[in-house]
């Protein structure tokens, strides 16, 4: 067997026995994303479902001044409940969070309505509180539609069609498919997968330089009749394998998670069947060489395992940068963008989940671009490995 192969298989055996590597490659990386994802989805599910379904309790001061309005609110799934004694008490109750909102109907409400003077209603709420903000939005929506209905009745009574005060009819046509809507949320997925991938090879990348040095095993290793290129290539390829393994496991664990998250209730049906899992793996796997060489490169400048870990946690965040920028700028996929590693994987993956046809040119550019970047960094690593100062 060639020296490169010997190094490769030794690294694999060595790391399969290392609890630290196993934990990060096979557990942390693959599970972190899906679990966080399931948590976020469930939370937003609870919120949006709660809005439509459950009745909203609204304390009202001065209910007796507006019996019609109370009836209207009740018919809109809003329960009128007992309120604090007066307005000051209500403000206090909202401030302390006892109530999310309190409606105050002044005594003059009925008289003002009868005189067709705008009748004042107060909504006391803490808009900095997300929960309260949502509930008051719901109460406001009900109040506005009551307002519109009253206006329409008044106009009709004066022989004017209510459509006169509605010159525009704005109709939003949403063409997004359920798969497309999922993509918004699933967009963050590509980062989870890249994160898992990088985590999988982190310990191996550190071990190549800082780890071997710290253990004192680097110097005898360099005394062997093999070239340093063979050593570092063997080690980088082993890191690639662990990264691929970690990526594969994170795709699988995400696939399994999706089976338990009722995404269709959010109007999403992500395109994520086993075939997509496979395609996603193939799209992302070229990133392993880049990831492994980048991490090895960064680690080679550090003095110890601990220092390397600190720096590599920065590298873990690096793939987010292009993804973040493009998400903010809302750029559409183009062939030029496919040259940028991590961004191209992100865009292709989002397209895949949206169930859009795969642009083979984009795939080709993404794969070659990422592989070339990986090869260049690997060669730089090899060059640094030949330095005399390597032993530190």
Between 331 and 391, CB nearer to other proteins: 391
Residue 215 binds other proteins, judged by CB under 8 A: yes
Q: How many helices (H) and strands (E) does the chain have?
A: 18, 4
Single out the residue of 81, 217, 313, 334 in contact with other proteins (rule: CB under 8 A).
Answer: 217
Stretch that binds other proteins, among 103-111, 222-230, 247-255, 341-349 (CB under 8 A): 222-230
Stretch that binds other proteins, among 68-76, 154-162, 217-225, 345-353 (CB under 8 A): 217-225
337-363 b/e (C-beta count within 10 Å ≥ 16 → b): bbebbbbbbbbbbbbbbbbbeebeebb
Least distance (Å) from other proteins to the CB of residue 224? 5
Distance, in Å, from the CA atom of 129 to the CA atom of 97, rounded to the nearest integer, reads 9
Do the Cβ atoms of 219 and 312 come closer than 8 Å? Answer: no
Do the Cβ atoms of 382 and 228 come closer than 8 Å? Answer: yes
Distance, in Å, from the CA atom of 236 to the CA atom of 145, rounded to the nearest integer, reads 65
Between 226 and 318, CB nearer to other proteins: 226
Do the Cβ atoms of 35 and 187 come closer than 8 Å? Answer: no
Site for other proteins in 194-213 (CB under 8 A): 212
Total chain residues near other proteins (CB under 8 A): 25
Least distance (Å) from other proteins to the CB of residue 29? 20
Between 3 and 140, CB nearer to other proteins: 3
Which whole-number Å values give the CA distances from 353 to 43, 82, 218, in the listed order?
22, 49, 45
Site for other proteins in 2-21 (CB under 8 A): 3, 6-7, 10, 13-15, 17-18
Between 15 and 342, CB nearer to other proteins: 15
Between 167 and 220, CB nearer to other proteins: 220
Between 167 and 216, CB nearer to other proteins: 216
Q: Under DSSP, is residue 291 helix (H, G, I), strand (E, B) or coil?
A: helix
Residue 222 binds other proteins, judged by CB under 8 A: yes
Written as six digits, the tokens of 283 are 């799209």
Single out the residue of 118, 159, 167, 216 in contact with other proteins (rule: CB under 8 A).
Answer: 216
Written as six digits, the tokens of 312 are 């590599």
Q: Which residue has the tokens 């340093």?
A: 228
Do the Cβ atoms of 230 and 7 come closer than 8 Å? Answer: yes
One character per residue 158-197, x = contact with other proteins (rule: CB under 8 A): ----------------------------------------
Closest CA to 28 of 200, 193, 191: 200
Residue 388 binds other proteins, judged by CB under 8 A: yes
Do the Cβ atoms of 258 and 182 come closer than 8 Å? Answer: no
Single out the residue of 53, 118, 167, 220 in contact with other proteins (rule: CB under 8 A).
Answer: 220
Least distance (Å) from other proteins to the CB of residue 4? 10
One character per residue 18-57, x = contact with other proteins (rule: CB under 8 A): x---------------------------------------
Least distance (Å) from other proteins to the CB of residue 222? 5
Q: At what angle do helices 287-300 and 360-385 cross, to 10 degrees?
A: 30
For the chain, the residue count is: 392
Q: Which residue has the tokens 């309005």?
A: 69
Between 15 and 182, CB nearer to other proteins: 15
* DSSP of 167-195: -----------HHHHHHHHHTTHHHHHHH
Distance, in Å, from the CA atom of 140 to the CA atom of 147, rounded to the nearest integer, reads 10
Between 11 and 126, CB nearer to other proteins: 11
**Interacting residues toward other proteins by CB under 8 A:** 1, 3, 6-7, 10, 13-15, 17-18, 212, 215-220, 222-227, 388, 391
């Amino acid at each position: 067997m060639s020296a490169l192969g010997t190094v490769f298989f030794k690294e694999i055996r060595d790391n399969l026995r290392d609890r630290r590597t196993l934990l990060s490659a096979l557990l942390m990386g693959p599970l972190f994303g899906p679990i966080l994802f399931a948590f976020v989805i469930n939370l937003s599910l609870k919120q949006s479902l709660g809005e439509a379904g459950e009745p909203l309790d609204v304390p009202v001061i001065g209910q007796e001044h507006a019996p019609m309005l109370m009836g209207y609110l009740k018919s809109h799934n809003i329960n009128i409940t007992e309120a604090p004694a007066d307005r000051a008490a209500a403000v206090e109750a909202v401030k302390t969070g006892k109530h999310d909102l309190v409606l105050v109907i002044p005594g003059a409400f009925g008289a003002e309505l009868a005189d067709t003077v705008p009748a004042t209603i107060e909504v006391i709420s803490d808009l900095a509180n997300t929960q309260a903000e949502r509930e008051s939005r719901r109460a406001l929506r009900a109040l506005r539609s009551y307002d519109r209905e009253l206006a329409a009745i008044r106009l009709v009574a004066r022989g004017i069609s209510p459509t006169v005060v509605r010159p525009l009819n704005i109709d939003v046509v949403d063409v997004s498919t359920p798969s497309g809507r999922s993509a918004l949320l699933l967009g963050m997925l590509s980062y989870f997968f890249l994160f898992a991938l990088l985590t999988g090879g982190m310990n191996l990348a550190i071990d190549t330089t800082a780890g071997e040095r710290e253990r004192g095993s680097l110097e005898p290793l360099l005394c062997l009749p093999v070239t340093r290129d063979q050593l570092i290539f063997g080690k980088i390829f082993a890191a690639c394998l662990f990264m691929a393994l970690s990526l594969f496991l994170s795709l699988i664990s995400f696939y399994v998670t999706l089976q338990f998250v009722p995404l269709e209730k959010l109007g999403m049906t992500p395109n994520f069947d086993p075939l997509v899992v496979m395609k996603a793996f193939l799209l992302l796997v070229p990133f392993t060489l880049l990831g492994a060489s980048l991490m090895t490169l960064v680690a080679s400048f550090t003095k110890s395992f601990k220092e390397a870990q600190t720096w590599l946690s920065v590298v873990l965040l690096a793939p987010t940068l292009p993804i973040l920028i493009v998400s903010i700028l809302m750029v559409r996929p183009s062939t030029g963008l496919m040259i940028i590693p991590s961004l191209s994987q992100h865009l292709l993956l989002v397209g895949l989940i949206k169930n859009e046809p795969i642009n083979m040119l984009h795939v080709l550019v993404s794969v070659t671009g990422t592989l070339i970047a990986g090869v260049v960094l690997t060669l730089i690593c090899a060059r640094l490995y030949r330095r005399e100062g390597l032993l530190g």
